[in-house]
Amino acid sequence: MNNLEQWQHNNEQYLSKALTWLRLCLKRQVQKIEQEKETCIETLPTKHRFLGRNFLPALPPGNNLITDEKIAAAAREMSRAETLSPPPAMVILSQRLGLSPFEQKLLLLCAAIELDTSIGALCARAQDNPHQNYPTFALAFTLFEDASWDILSPERPLRYWRLLEINQPGAQPLTTSSLRIDERILNYLKGLNYLDDRLVSLVSPLDSKNTEYQLPLSHQKAVEAITSNLQPYQTPLVIQLLGSDSASKQLVAQQAAQSIGLFVYRLSIELLPTTGADLETFIRLWERESLLLPIILYLDAQEITTSTEAQNAHLYRFLNRINSLLFLSSREIHFNNARSTIPIDIDKPTPDEQKQLWERALGKMAGEIPAQIASQFNLNLPTIYQITQTVLNTPNNNLYNQLWSTCLAHTRPQLDILAQRINSKATWENIVLPSEETSLLQQIADQVKQRSKVYQEWGFENRMNRGLGISALFAGESGTGKTMAAEVIANELRLNLYRIDLSAVVSKYIGETEKNLRRLFDAAEDGGAILFFDEADALFGKRSEVKDSHDRYANIEINYLLQRMEAFRGLAILATNMRNALDNAFVRRLRFIVNFQFPNPSERQKIWQKVFPKEVPTENLDFARLARLNLTGGSIHNIALNAAFLAAQKGTGVTMPLVLQSARAEFRKLDRPINEIDFRYSEPVGAPR
């Protein structure tokens, strides 16, 4: 017989002995009532005694009377069953929830009516009322000698832990109201120990795979810091897990809990009840479950920010009321409550640790791949293993390329919700800029490539007090090549490029802008994506005097974006058409500023020469003349595209008349003055027709 079978045997034996004792107690009470009625009949005149006895049930024969000795013997049998090892469920429950002997007996009475169909009739007879075929406080006071009036208090275990349901209609006294055992507690006493159904829809167990991973050193230290303070059933603590990566925090929490035999259940703050009564019910039920099951709560408050704290008063009430072990996940310390709180910082594995994780996951096939991947992507442990397993289980000819592509694809679902992904096709051959600006763009790309060597290997990381982000400002009017330059860099680095319209990110709701930006940077940091913020002046215009709360929060949002850009382990590019409108304090904090000037005639001619794909049939285009049209590269591209459509419709190649026709339409679209001479064209003498 294994331990579980032994416990089940002991539990059934206890319930059998306890029900036998309880039946005797009820029958003795019935016997007392009948004896009292017999005594009353004896006092009647002789002519009425016979009639009175016809309405009384016959008393059992003398040898079947319920005596104190019989009840005492049954009580001893029940007590012996309570001392069995492992102990029955009732004993464990009483110890953990603090039930007195009398409360334990009352709970047994309420359980018995569900376990034995004869108990209801005995309850009715024991209360001398055919309609009271249920347990009551009054019946318990009558049956059990160690009765105590204080069990009626809402602060005593039976009511505090919601072990009983009291049905008290109208003006019926509390003592005679029907009692019913809570379904979860009844099943617990029968040996079915599962999470209360009322909590199942709110909390969910963390992935059991988290306990299988071998943690990097930084996470092992976090686990040790937690376990040195975590002791079940002792002084309750709030272990506040700080940091931006939820997966790493859940991994650490789960391995720390496992080391002391606890399972972790996650509750999102969005599902935490907000009303007083519902919140109190949740707290009582969870505390009860944490005493009956080896579980610990992981409260995910990751989306709480300093600007949204006031909206979460129910969270403060919860933290001050809950009296069990608790993991609290947030980015920063926000909650100053009276309870003992231990803050633990948990980040993603360090770059060196990520390199080691890739080496461990790839095994003999690792080579130089781990260093190259870890220098560009910032991934947590579970993601590294998931990507590796996906790639290794997929036939491929180039492991490095497949891993790189999978890492890029990993972040796309998150980023695609928040920003517009640009399919980067432009290369260095496509862009026309002065040599100085081209050199700056190359420097930006080179810094992204070499940041791991400079920051980690050469030690600059330890001397940087503003973060390791690479930030650049692209300034110039629309069409001068800012977006194309970002595409060129993304193509060079083989990274995803996302355009963010800051005017769309900024929200009128306090705190929402910060939340949107945080999600954006977190997702981009995982996959090394390049963030291209368009319309930067929408958020970084010169600040005016703070006049109201919205001005103050706007400044908070600007400062938050600056901090995240500096801490961002990738490249953030901001684009603006109005360089002079930007706050100078903001501009000084950028690493690169690239000015995109209006192209001169020589540059425009080069743009015209490159604008048509080699597949496009062209006929005698005069690029020198076209360069005299005062246009940006963006407008030149529009003209070339429209001219190609005109040629396709006519069934000819792209000719000067078609290009000039498209150019004239572009001028009209831009509301530019039109000099008809610029758009007239005569075929050169001897030109082929």
Q: Which residue has the higher pLDDT, 254 or 334?
A: 254
Extract the runs of DSSP E, i.e. beta strands, from 418-562: 420-422, 470-475, 497-501, 530-534
| 104-158 tens-digit pLDDT | 999 999 999 999 999 999 999 999 999 999 999 999 999 998 888 899 999 999 9
650, 624 Cβ separation under 8 angstroms? no
The pLDDT score that the predictor gives to residue 210 is 81
Cβ-count burial 310-322 (b if 16+ within 10 Å, e if not): eebebbebbbeeb
Helix (H) or strand (E) holding 64: none
* Predicted confidence (pLDDT) at residue 386 exceeds the cutoff of 60: yes
* Predicted confidence (pLDDT) at residue 465 exceeds the cutoff of 80: no
Positive/negative CA dihedral, 48, 52, 58, 62:
negative
- Mean pLDDT, the chain, whole residue set: 87
* Predicted confidence (pLDDT) at residue 549 exceeds the cutoff of 60: no
pLDDT above 90: percentage of residues in the chain = 60
- Return the HEC string of 526-564: HHCCEEEEECCHHHHECCCCCCCHHHHHHHHHHHHHHHH
* Predicted confidence (pLDDT) at residue 169 exceeds the cutoff of 50: yes
Strand partners, 498: 421, 531
> Domain 435-595 adopts which CATH fold?
Rossmann fold (3.40.50)
Q: For the chain, what are the domain ranges?
A: 3-193, 198-345, 351-418, 435-595, 601-679
CATH code for the structural domain at 601-679? 1.10.8.60
285, 322 Cβ separation under 8 angstroms? no
412, 566 Cβ separation under 8 angstroms? no
Average pLDDT over residues 236-263: 92
pLDDT above 70: percentage of residues in the chain = 88
Helices (H), 116-175: 119-126, 137-143, 157-160
205, 195 Cβ separation under 8 angstroms? no
Name the class of domain 198-345.
alpha beta
> pLDDT category, 306, cuts 50, 70, 90?
low
Q: Note whether 435-595 and 601-679 share their fold.
A: no
The pLDDT score that the predictor gives to residue 56 is 47
Label residue 346 left, alpha or beta by phi (over 0 means left) and psi (-120 to 50 means alpha): beta
Average pLDDT over residues 91-97: 97
| 176-223 tens-digit pLDDT | 999 999 999 999 999 999 999 999 999 999 988 888 899 999 999 999
Region of poorest pLDDT, from 83-97, 328-342, 367-381 = 328-342
The pLDDT score that the predictor gives to residue 557 is 66
Which of 135, 287, 110, 119 minimizes the C-alpha distance to 186?
110
Which of 189, 159, 200, 195 minimizes the C-alpha distance to 177?
159
* Predicted confidence (pLDDT) at residue 508 exceeds the cutoff of 70: no
Region of poorest pLDDT, from 364-378, 531-545, 580-594 = 531-545
Which of 153, 159, 156, 155 minimizes the C-alpha distance to 182?
159
| 389-443 tens-digit pLDDT | 999 988 877 899 999 999 998 888 888 888 899 999 999 999 999 999 999 999 9
| 46-69 tens-digit pLDDT | 655 555 545 545 545 555 788 889
Residue type at 231 in one-letter notation = Q
In sequence order, what are the residues at sequence separation of 6 or more whose Cβ sits closer than 8 angstroms to the Cβ of residue 254? Answer: 206, 207, 210, 211, 264
Q: Name the CA radius of gyration of the chain, rounded.
A: 39
